[in-house]
Every structure is written in C-alpha cells, then in structure tokens.
Amino acid sequence: MASNFFGQLFRFTTFGESHGPGIGVVIDGCPAGIALTLEDIQTELDKRRPGKNRFTSPRKETDVAEILSGVFEGLTTGAPLTLFIRNVDADSSSYEPLKTLYRPGHANYTYLAKYGHFDYRGGGRSSGRETASRVAAGAVAKKWLAQMGISCTAYISEIGGIAMEEVSEWSQDLREKTVASPIFCPCAQTEEKILAAITQVQEERDSFGGIVTCVAHAPAGLGDPVYGKLEALLASAMLSIPASKGFEIGQGFQAARMRGSEHNDPFDLDAEGRAVPATNQAGGTLGGISTGCPIVFRVAFKPTSSIKRPQATVSLQGERTTFQLQEKSRHDPCLAIRAVPAVEAMAALVLADAVLMQRVVKA
C-alpha cells in the first residue's frame, strides 16, 4: 500500500532501507523560491547522527546528504526536491544469526505476517534509520517556516522516570542549551541525573524509555476541521515514529482528571487589545485549529527493545529458544534521545503542510 508518504500539499515520500544502497526522501509540493543549501540539511542531520556520543548507538554513519533534484541556483524550484543519504557503515553480517528468530519487541514478526518475508538486516523500513529521511525533509520545512517566524523545538523532558519541569514558553537560550546537551535536555540538573542513570542502565545491560516534549510557535488559524485537526495530524505524525507509544497535547491525559472550571482557558486582551487566551491549558489549539498560543505536546517512547540480556523467544522453525544480542552489537540505551530531531522534524512538516492548507480556505 502507498503508505510511505505524509502530508497533503507539502507531501513527502521516504524510501530506502538501513542496509541497502541508502535512504532518502522526495518532497512533492515544496513551494518555489526557498533559499536552501546543503548545509541547511546537514546541520539537522548531524543532530541525530548516531555515534555522536556514548549515549546513542556508536554506529558510525556519516549521514551525508546529496540533493538529487529540485534546487537550482540556491533556490527551490517547486519541482520535487529529493534528498539522498548513502549508507556507508551498513555491516549486516551481525544480523545473520537473527535470520531465524523472532526478536522480542521487533517488527520482524509482523512483517512476516504481512508480507510473507522480512529483511533481517537491521529492520528494513521499520529501522530507526528511516527517521534520517524525515529529519532531512524537516530541515527544508524549518528553513521555510523560519522565514514566517514559525518555529518548533523538541527536547527530552523525562528518561528513566527522571523528569524536568515542563517548559511552555520557549527562548533562544533554552534552544541553545538543548542543542548543546548530549541528550537534548535543556535543564542541566536533569541532564546530569539522566546521564548517571543511563550509565547505570547500560551496565545492567538494559534500556530506558523516555518522553519528548515539543513546543511550536505558530499563528492562529492553522489546522482544519474535521479530520485535519492540527492535533490529529500531529498525533499521526508522532505515532509514525518508531517506538512511540503515546501522544498528548496541552494537559493531555491530565486533562481527563480536571474539571471544566480548571481546564477552560479564559480569554483576555493582550497589550494590543486583541482577544487572546489568558492561559494555555489547551496546548495551543481549540477545535483542532491553532490559537496562536504555543503548541505544546508530548510523545512517549518505549524502552529500546534491543538489550544485551537473554530473552525467551521462538525460532521461525517453531522451537522455543533464547535470544541474546552479541556483545559487539550497537544499540541506543534510550531511543527517545535519537527521536528528538525526528519529533522536531515531523512537527515542522505538519506545520508546513498546515500553512499551505490555510492559503486555500477563503474565497
């Protein structure tokens, strides 16, 4: 099924496997006239680079993007914009022993049910590596959104049960701290505690889950009733990221425990005398359309499935057995860290699409 594309107008299709020639993305519908350089793409890709530090997988991908189409003389042309990242460190030999086993927490079980076969080399399309294509596409969206004063920033708000206080208004200072942090956490104390916990969990040959929070600043009016609600698009985008298990906006699940008199955001006048929500419990949307307040949402990620402990499983031949990763195998202790740039990219891609959609609603 045609299920590898996202977006209606700013529509992108990703392709490629973690152990084939490479991965990439075609953006069909990117507006003409955006100034774009390879460096814009590379800066974003470098954020998610594995091997950046010991808290993400040491796999040494260089992740160098090539622009295959859609840019001429430094500007997007309106034609499909294609970005390609060749695989350079794709040693699939370590996957050989996994050919004949169902891996707990992995998709080879379901791919086999669906397609009658599976690509045992590193997960194929279900690999986290696919998110590099999203980050590359997101870099284009972010470049354009920045021209309009629209931004989105994702950060780690919780790992291993260690949570920082939520940030609802975002500043340049926080953004810089986030990018500088090896785990994308803008709060120094939380970062320190989390790093210690990760060291511990690695020693215990185990892994952590985590929560990524994202704050976007965008004007009122984005998002479409009924099935194109901004939160519906964001939820779909976030649950498409590997290992994500939940999405909430504003007070989210906490809202279910509140009363109307607590949760309702009263309206007030701002300094210019315009009506604005006085608080932002809603998280930036009402009826699926942005209010102009910060759009704040959270995404839950399960712990990394690949751990260096023996796990009960079954072989393809139907025999009970034990599965254990090789010592030399390389895996993130917490996938949520590497998911941060993907969350940010998908948010940007949703917003770029919503901006285009907003252009067509009035006669």
Site for a second copy in 158-217 (CB under 8 A): 158, 160-161, 201, 206-211
155 binds a second copy (CB under 8 A): no
For residues 316 and 48, give the distance between their C-alpha atoms in angstroms, rounded to a whole number. Answer: 34
Q: Please, which residue, 153 or 291, has the CB nearer to a second copy? A: 291
For residues 282 and 295, give the distance between their C-alpha atoms in angstroms, rounded to a whole number. Answer: 9
142 binds a second copy (CB under 8 A): no
> Can you tell me which of 45, 164, 214, 238 binds a second copy, judged by CB under 8 A?
238
The interaxial angle of helices 131-147 and 335-358, nearest 10 deg, is: 50
76 binds a second copy (CB under 8 A): yes
Q: Is 155 exposed, middle or buried (0-12, 13-18, 19+ CB in 10 A)?
A: buried
26 binds a second copy (CB under 8 A): yes
Min CB(197)–a second copy separation in Å: 11
> Can you tell me which of 47, 106, 217, 338 binds a second copy, judged by CB under 8 A?
106
Residues binding a second copy: what is the number (CB under 8 A)? 160
> Can you tell me which of 9, 38, 64, 179 binds a second copy, judged by CB under 8 A?
9
38 binds a second copy (CB under 8 A): no
Q: Please, which residue, 92 or 175, has the CB nearer to a second copy? A: 92
Check the CA dihedral 105-107-112-114 and report its sign: positive
Torsion of CA 311, 315, 321, 323, to 10 degrees: -30
For residues 155 and 223, give the distance between their C-alpha atoms in angstroms, rounded to a whole number. Answer: 23
Q: Please, which residue, 146 or 180, has the CB nearer to a second copy? A: 146
Residue 288 makes CB contacts below 8 A (sequence gap 6+) with 223, 224, 225, 226, 228, 229, 230, 231, 232
Query: Considering only 26-34, 39-47, 171-179, 187-195, which stretch makes contact with a second copy by CB under 8 A?
Result: 26-34
For residues 179 and 171, give the distance between their C-alpha atoms in angstroms, rounded to a whole number. Answer: 13
Q: Please, which residue, 45 or 354, has the CB nearer to a second copy? A: 354
244 DSSP β-pair partners: 301
Min CB(96)–a second copy separation in Å: 14
41 binds a second copy (CB under 8 A): no
> Can you tell me which of 39, 60, 75, 192 binds a second copy, judged by CB under 8 A?
75
For residues 36 and 131, give the distance between their C-alpha atoms in angstroms, rounded to a whole number. Answer: 21
309 binds a second copy (CB under 8 A): yes
What residues numbered 272-301 form the site for a second copy, per CB under 8 A? 273-275, 277-278, 282-283, 285-292, 298, 300-301
Min CB(241)–a second copy separation in Å: 9
Q: Is 69 exposed, middle or buried (0-12, 13-18, 19+ CB in 10 A)?
A: middle
